[in-house]
Amino acid sequence: MVLITVFFTSTGIPSTSLSPTIRIRRIDTDVLVITDAAMSNVGDGFYKYDFTTYDDTLEYVIRADGTVTLDDVDRYKFNGSTEANIEITLRDTEEIQSKLPTDNIMGSAVLTSKDDEIDAIKLVTDAISIPTVLDIVNGVFDELVATHTTSDSFGSNMELIRKILLNRLTLTNDGADLTLYDDDNSTPILTASLTDINNDPAVVEGTAPASRSKLI
């Protein structure tokens, strides 16, 4: 089934009280399959015809006649021509209906299984809290860097900077070696050799080991 709609005007104004007819001809055989059938008034200048014998494997040409009520320039509407004001629309309603869901028409007064699924999704999405920019900033700066231990990550490097600034440091080997200790004050985590301007060991003869205790 195909619903054919046509729009008629008279000098540009919708014609609302016509009794138009329609002819439909097969292109392959040139045979008229519908001859001067009456069209129904839809309103506002639109008229329709229910082409119940439509075959989607065939091609047709269509001519709608607004009758002598209209001037010749407004009387006929037909498809396949760019010289006329064609307002014919073919819609295969059976195909459209076959694609409509059978149990999840949204807006229906009857609650269905698909409606339940949509409601369940909405409950989840409504509960999602979107953080503000301030929440994100506070989350970053209030995060404990000690919990980030992945090697060479931002968090681990920040933790190392903290230890360099606060933890115990010692100078040994007459001031030539510098050692940084972990938070337990006994486990070395970094060592460095101190040199002078000539890249020689910065040794001060007779210097006793020196240290900086952990800053609290």
Residue 90 maps to a domain? yes
Instruction: State the pLDDT at residue 29.
Output: 92
159 in the same domain as 81 = no
> 30-59: per-residue pLDDT in tens?
999 999 999 999 999 999 999 999 888 888
Of residues 97 and 169, more confidently modeled: 169
Residue 128 maps to a domain? no
Average pLDDT over all residues of the chain:
79
Residue 129 maps to a domain? no
Q: Locate 151 and state its tokens.
A: 């090697």
- Single-letter amino acid, residue 37: A
20 in the same domain as 76 = yes
- Dihedral, CA atoms, 77, 29, 57, 21, nearest 10 degrees? 30
If we measure between CA atoms, which residue out of 149, 157, 169 comes closest to residue 215? 169
In the predicted structure, residue 19 carries a pLDDT above the cut 60: yes
175 in the same domain as 93 = no
90 in the same domain as 20 = yes
Q: Which residues contact 3 (CB under 8 A, 6 or more apart)?
A: 48, 49, 50, 51, 90, 91, 93
Instruction: State the pLDDT at residue 198.
Output: 81
Residue 137 maps to a domain? no
Residue 122 maps to a domain? no
- Structurally, the chain folds into a number of domains equal to 2
pTM of the model: 0.40
Helix (H, G, I), strand (E, B) or coil at 50: strand
Average pLDDT over residues 57-86: 78
Task: State which of 64, 83, 99 marks the end of a domain.
Answer: 99
148 in the same domain as 94 = no
Taking the C-alpha atoms of residue 207 and residue 205, their distance in angstroms, rounded to an integer, is: 6
77 in the same domain as 23 = yes
Residue 106 maps to a domain? no
Residue 192 maps to a domain? yes
Task: State which of 78, 99, 120 marks the end of a domain.
Answer: 99
89 in the same domain as 19 = yes
9 in the same domain as 95 = yes
- Dihedral, CA atoms, 11, 17, 18, 22, nearest 10 degrees? 110
Q: Which DSSP string do the residues of 70-133 spell out, in sequence order?
A: S-HHHHEEESS-SSS----EEEEHHHHHHHS-SS--TT-SS--HHHHHHHHHHHHHHTPPPPPH
Residue 26 maps to a domain? yes
Share of the chain above pLDDT 90, in %: 30
Could you tell me the CA-to-CA distances from 161 to 109, 119, 127, 145 in Å, in that order?
A: 64, 51, 39, 11
If we measure between CA atoms, which residue out of 87, 6, 94, 4 comes closest to residue 51? 4
Q: 176: domain range? A: 144-212
> 156-191: per-residue pLDDT in tens?
888 888 898 999 988 887 667 889 999 898 999 998
93 in the same domain as 7 = yes
208 in the same domain as 153 = yes
17 in the same domain as 94 = yes
Q: Out of 15-29, 111-125, 163-177, pick the least confident.
A: 111-125
163 in the same domain as 86 = no
pLDDT band at 86 (very low <50, low <70, confident <90, very high): very low
Task: State which of 66, 99, 132 marks the end of a domain.
Answer: 99
With residue 158 as reference, give the H or E element that holds it. Answer: helix 154-166
